[in-house]
A and B are shown apart, each in its own frame.
Chain A
């Protein structure tokens, strides 16, 4: 067991390096002179040279890489070209809304999707099952911004139950924060819960056809017991896997949702940085998102041991 954990933890190190090197190279892979790109179209020659020197772009590539890695190791992600603030500070300012949005969407989606998928599989072929399939296809297909604006129109503008946009930080009180994040979370969970529900249903169908489910019935276990005791633990691995892998899609959705609801989070920071060609900020954001994904997938892998005793060895 501990062997498995240690092995899995060690495997994170090379992945982290690959991410950092890729992020570093992004600036150099693109066409043209990175210094000129950062300086913008109307920059003078002197301005471009100043940027080149400030960002060490005149040094050999390998030296630049080591400088970069050493800076990242010291939590120095550089300065914003646009505002001059340290990138780390900019990111830390924006982390909370995004984290709150992602976590609340994750919880909401799992609470909706897993029972939905289990129920659909249990009543496979029924009208309810068909409805759930259609619902998840719709949830998966309709763009996030469409769902967002429709929800805002219904629940904020017409009903007036929830704020139209904006974000109240946790420091303003838990309920305030929750109210401001409700519509964005629901919007984003359409996509995510559709993905999870489909995999849950498919896996559950497979598990229910297994021989050990027949054994459980032969023992005299009733339907509810079969679902909860014998089937649920066996769908754990595939369901947690899809939650982990589609977490990337969730982060993609965060960017759009933050724009729709005017939430000052990491997504907005990313979009703004890309539009202003603020490369150090783009790189910093990429590193943070990548590391979050690595951490989520590490947790997913570790959770396998919880569901499947065969992994523990």
Chain B
């Protein structure tokens, strides 16, 4: 075991359009240890999905300009991999599940075929042996009546069932990194909880590292080890989940927490939710200085002048804000830190 983290991203920048002029992700760096869960948090359009898609190398060929100082996964330099090597890693070393399980499954192919394919693309075995593995993984994700579902088509299953199929498909080759891009957003709340529970159970069993993309801080509190907050294409704060929730050190994180509802049975509601004023600036019209300056309640003159550098708050907790003490303990949510 070397000292190298399992996944290491340094200075990831992704541009779209002519010459990559529209930079949807700027200078993003983070590490992830094996078996841990990192939550990427932020509003729609903040660059969470683009970051994840870049790790998987799933941008349409020629559409995105991906640059980074480092992008290493399990000792492999992803920046040096060509399309062939990437497709060998995709599905085996790293896998991804998506927001909408209906549109993410091929409507014309059976569940059994799609699951078997995920396996046979990476492992040589007979159809019979593959079917046995598919049955096993279907039971693992608690699909009732798995044998019959093999010959079913996606439209014959419920939303929660489809997302279980997606999870089964992602995990069938036991990848060491799973990227989950808002996997519960399109599902009912009760189904959401089941899916989250299933993911963390499978993570414990297989030791999978998870990058979980969400804008739901309730979900973050459930599953995260570490949190990275994105705003307008950049990371603005990162650290262990309890540190971020109890002591947010960036105006945006603090705003997100204040805008999150929590309902505890038997307790009175904690008052009105606060919204973050204004909108996310477009990538071509970022303000001078801190990108959040125009919406920040605590902005001072210097915030308009220079882009803040990373600043350590406590060990492992850093933010890109020059006023990190201003926000106070605003945590609206109770964090259950699992031992």
- B133 interface residue (CB < 8 Å to A): no
CB-contacts of B111-149 with A (<8 A): 117-118, 121-122
* Interface residue stretch chosen among B16-24, B86-94, B189-197, B290-298: B86-94
CA distance A219 to B172 in the complex (A): 10
- A216 interface residue (CB < 8 Å to B): yes
Instruction: Return chain B residues, CB-CB under 8 Å to A210.
Output: 103
**How many whole Å from B83's CB to the nearest CB in chain A?**
8
Instruction: Return chain A residues, CB-CB under 8 Å to B169.
Output: 215, 219
CA distance A310 to B166 in the complex (A): 20
Q: Among B90, B110, B155, point to the contact of A219 (Cβ < 8 A).
A: B90
- CB-based contact B104/A214 at 8 Å: yes
- B249 interface residue (CB < 8 Å to A): no
**DSSP majority for the A interface?**
helix
**How many whole Å from B248's CB to the nearest CB in chain A?**
33
- CB-based contact A233/B109 at 8 Å: yes
- CB-based contact B84/A309 at 8 Å: no
- B31 interface residue (CB < 8 Å to A): no
CA distance A234 to B107 in the complex (A): 8
CA distance A217 to B170 in the complex (A): 12
**How many whole Å from A50's CB to the nearest CB in chain B?**
63
CA distance A17 to B118 in the complex (A): 52
Instruction: Return chain B residues, CB-CB under 8 Å to A307.
Output: 108
Instruction: Return chain B residues, CB-CB under 8 Å to A310.
Output: 107, 153, 155
- CB-based contact A219/B107 at 8 Å: no
Binary B-proximity of A207-232 (CB < 8 A = 1, otherwise 0): 00011101111111110010001100
- CB-based contact B109/A219 at 8 Å: no
- CB-based contact A214/B98 at 8 Å: yes
- CB-based contact B103/A218 at 8 Å: no
Q: In the complex, how many residues of chain B place their beta carbon closer than 8 angstroms to a beta carbon of chain A?
A: 30
CA distance A125 to B156 in the complex (A): 37
Instruction: Return chain A residues, CB-CB under 8 Å to B98.
Output: 211, 214-215
Instruction: Return chain A residues, CB-CB under 8 Å to B170.
Output: 218
Instruction: Return chain B residues, CB-CB under 8 Å to A230.
Output: 106, 109
- CB-based contact A218/B58 at 8 Å: yes
Instruction: Return chain A residues, CB-CB under 8 Å to B118.
Output: 219-220
- CB-based contact B95/A218 at 8 Å: yes
- B246 interface residue (CB < 8 Å to A): no
Q: Among B58, B89, B103, point to the contact of A212 (Cβ < 8 A).
A: B103
**How many whole Å from B325's CB to the nearest CB in chain A?**
42
- B56 interface residue (CB < 8 Å to A): yes
Binary A-proximity of B54-94 (CB < 8 A = 1, otherwise 0): 00101000000000000000000000000010011111100
- CB-based contact B117/A219 at 8 Å: yes
**How many whole Å from A247's CB to the nearest CB in chain B?**
24
- A272 interface residue (CB < 8 Å to B): no
Please name 22 pairs of A and B residues whose Cβ atoms are closer than 8 Å in the assembled complex, sorted by A: A211-B103, A212-B106, A215-B106, A215-B166, A216-B106, A217-B90, A218-B56, A218-B90, A218-B170, A219-B117, A219-B118, A220-B89, A220-B92, A220-B118, A221-B121, A222-B87, A229-B109, A230-B106, A230-B109, A233-B108, A234-B107, A307-B108
Other than the given A212-B107, A307-B108, A310-B107, 18 more pairs (CB < 8 A) read A214-B104, A215-B106, A215-B169, A217-B58, A218-B90, A218-B91, A219-B95, A220-B121, A225-B121, A229-B109, A229-B117, A234-B106, A234-B108, A236-B108, A308-B108, A309-B153, A309-B155, A310-B155
Question: Which A-B residue pairs are the 9 nearest by beta carbons?
Answer: A220-B91, A211-B103, A309-B153, A212-B106, A233-B108, A219-B91, A220-B90, A218-B96, A211-B104
